[in-house]
Amino acid sequence: MYLKQINPFESAMKQFDKAASLLKLSASQIAMIKEPRRITEVNLPVRMSDGSITIFKGFRVQHSIVRGPAKGGIRFHPNVTVDEVKALAFWMTYKCAVVGVPFGGGKGGVVCDPDQLTPTELENLSRRYFAEMSDLFGPNSDVPAPDVNTNSQIMAWMFDTYSMHKKQFLPAVITGKPLELGGSEGRSEATAQGMVFCVEEATKLLGIDLKQTTVAIQGFGNAGSFAAKLLNEDGAKIVAISDVSGAYYNPSGIDIAAAFATCRSNKTWLLKGLEKKTKCEKLSDPMKLLELEVDILIPAALENQIIEENAPRVKARIIAECANGPVTPEADDILEQKKVFLIPDILCNAGGVTVSYLEWVQNRMGYYWSRERIQQDLEQIMKKAFDEVFETAKSHQVNMRIGAFLLAIDRVTKAAELRGLYA
Ligand code: NAD
């Protein structure tokens, strides 16, 4: 990862300003929808296994509740900052508007390294975070989900904590839960599946046969590993994958089943040792994965990966942003000049929040749909959103990112205007 520090919230604000200037919004309209509505910061005391107490910093940002309850994941990471969470919450508002699901935007973060915590410490921290924030959360006010380093088990602990506080069974307070506790079929792979629907549309538009493409994927967690699996099943050749243990490359194609087996065999979900288990080389500089000669590049890790410095060396024809904010605004301009077809995060990775929405609906009904039904709804929602973004971009002669923001900002602005101001 590049050491250069780029503030993701400043990047997000630049994206907003660029799109908002084309919509000619008034200062009051901008004031209503640009900055986060509420930022909460807490110090979380957690009893550690040796009996001592450690204080962890936690955040929850509600960027917007104009179109529905705040919605967005909770990230556990040693470097998470309030500005990162603000940016992620902002992107959630506009992501939900792009795909037309009735949510606002929110995001949470806890400064911690989950790999250094015992399972009990991780559970205590998860429960304490949810308890401290329980006035914010609720099926009609703020509905979190998993993000980097959080998973369905953590969602289960958080759901349980909330339900114990309220003395009711309230699964709709959080999504990404295990199936046994009201999780939805298809949620685990939803982010990657939504991306695949977008890539299918993009390759059609560009006249590329997906089965003939080569793919590089950065990040092999929830989004990245399913991206590799699904695109591999679609016939694309995955030539490079990476995670915090390094980047692995084989121009003839990586054995994805071996990659999953390696992750399962390691103590934590990591590709470590893959070069010894299957034919591939470990790149000396993992960032070089982003510059490989491939048709499709999928950043699926963290923000600020393609920046002004390395963007000129990107060779992919399509970039599908599974991660949030992997490309900075400066890099966007360079990629646009290079005629790279970029599917922006607020469209490309919206499959996750879309199936989270379907999970929330099922929880509220108490009736559960089949995997086929979920898949059908997801495909229909993603493809419609892709077409709408593409048409908006075409009619304004802008790139897909600005097209997505134009569509989404317009929807949020209209909702805000219709609600008016309660004073
Ligand atoms: P995760 O914790 O499951 O996986 C993150 C992966 O990135 C891991 O494999 C980790 O080793 C890797 N990684 C971290 N730093 C890296 C680096 N510098 N270089 C290479 N790999 C690195 O998280 P996730 O849920 O897959 O989220 C990944 C991205 O997708 C994030 O930007 C997240 O906000 C976004 N996203 C996730 C979802 C979802 O439903 N999980 C939905 C929308 C967007």
* Tens-digit pLDDT profile for residues 21-40: 999 999 999 999 999 999 99
Instruction: Tell whether ligand 1 has an atom less than 6 A from the beta carbon of residue 359.
Output: no
| Tokens read off for 168 | 């009711």
Give the least confident one: 4-18, 59-73, 238-252: 4-18
Which of 147, 263, 290, 306, when mutated, tests ligand 1's pocket best, judged by the most ligand atoms within 8 Å of its CB? 147
Mutate which of 302, 304, 321, 360 to test ligand 1's pocket (most atoms within 8 Å of Cβ)?
A: 302
In the predicted structure, residue 1 carries a pLDDT above the cut 80? no
Residue-wise DSSP of 118-180: -HHHHHHHHHHHHHHTTTT-BTTTEEEEE-TT--HHHHHHHHHHHHHHHTS--GGG-SS--GG
**Residue 229's CB: how many other CB atoms inside 10 A?**
18
pLDDT score of 290 more than 70: yes
Tell the residue number behind the tokens 């087996």, with chain if given.
261
Q: Is 288 exposed, middle or buried (0-12, 13-18, 19+ CB in 10 A)?
A: middle
Give residue 149 CA to ligand 1 midpoint distance, Å.
8
Amino acid, single-letter form, for residue 154: I
Q: Is the pLDDT of residue 404 over 50?
A: yes
CA 303 – ligand 1 centroid, Å: 10
Tens digits of residue pLDDT in 175-192: 999 999 999 999 999 999
Q: How far apart, in whole angstroms, are the C-alpha atoms of residue 33 and residue 14?
A: 14
User: Quick check: CB of 150 below 6 Å from ligand 1?
Assistant: no
pLDDT for 3 equals: 47
356 lines ligand 1 (CB under 6 A): no
pLDDT in tens, 68-113: 999 999 999 999 999 999 999 999 999 999 999 999 999 999 999 9
DSSP reduced 3-state for 278: coil
Residue appearing with tokens 């703020």 = 142
Please, are residues 320 and 198 in contact by the beta-carbon 8 Å criterion? yes
| Ligand 1 centroid from CA 219, angstroms | 6
The rounded distance, in Å, linking the Cα atoms of 240 and 242 is 7
Between the CA of 222 and the centroid of ligand 1 the distance, in Å, is 7
**How do residues 203-237 score in pLDDT, each as one tens digit?**
999 999 999 999 999 999 999 999 999 999 999 99
In short, whether 89's Cβ falls inside 6 Å of ligand 1 is no
- Kindly state the tokens that stand for 321: 């942003």
Q: What is the pLDDT of residues 332-359, one digit of tens each?
A: 999 999 999 999 999 999 999 999 999 9
Residues 260-267, mean pLDDT to the nearest whole number: 97
Give the integer Cα–Cα distance in Å for 165 and 159.
10
Please state the length of the chain.
423
Q: Is residue 107 among the annotated active site residues?
A: yes
Query: Which one of 243, 292, 347, 378 would you pick to mutate in the ligand 1 pocket, going by the greatest count of ligand atoms within 8 A of its CB?
Result: 243
- Whether ligand 1 lies within 6 angstroms of the CB of 254 is answered as no
Which atom number of ligand 1 is nearest to the Cα of residue 224? Answer: 26
Average pLDDT (356-383) is 98
Average pLDDT over residues 272-284: 97
Residue with CA nearest ligand 1 atom 42 = 352
Which residues, other chains included, contact 344 with Cβ-Cβ below 8 Å and sequence gap of 6+? 321, 389, 400, 401, 404
Q: What percent of the chain has pLDDT over 70?
A: 99
C-alpha 75 to ligand 1 mean position (Å): 10
Distance from residue 21's CA to the centre of ligand 1 (Å):
32
Handedness of CA 121, 122, 126, 127 (dihedral sign): negative
Distance between Cα 324 and ligand 1 center (Å): 9
pLDDT, mean of residues 53-66 = 98
Angle 53-54-56 (CA atoms, 0-180°, nearest 5)?
145
Sheet with strand 70-77: strands edge to edge: 38-47, 53-64, 105-111, 70-77, 142-146
> Do 405 and 95 contact (CB within 8 A), yes or no?
no
Specify the ligand 1 atom closest to the Cα of 325: 32
Active-site residue, selected from the candidate residues 34, 86, 95, 107: 107
Pair of tokens at residue 134: 């329980």
pLDDT of residue 4: 59
pLDDT in tens, 106-158: 999 999 999 999 999 999 999 999 999 999 999 999 999 999 999 999 999 99
3-class state of residue 236 by DSSP: coil
Q: How far apart are CA 117 and CA 252, in angstroms?
A: 39
- The answer to whether the CB of 378 falls within 8 A of the CB of 351 is yes
Go through 358-393 and write b for each residue having 16 or more CB atoms within 10 A of its CB, e for each that does not: bbbbbbeeeeebeeeebbebbbebbeebbebbbebb
Query: Tokens 């304004």 belong to which residue?
Result: 396
- The answer to whether the beta carbons of residues 295 and 317 sit under 8 Å apart is yes
CA 118 to mean position of chain CA atoms: 26
| Domains recognised in the chain with CATH numbers | 26-170 (3.40.50.10860), 190-343 (3.40.50.720)
What does the pLDDT read at residue 5? 84
The pTM of this model reads: 0.97
Q: Which of 148, 229, 242 to mutate to test the pocket of ligand 1 (most atoms within 8 A of CB)?
A: 148
Q: What distance in Å separates the CA atoms of residue 392 and residue 223, rounded to the nearest whole number?
A: 27
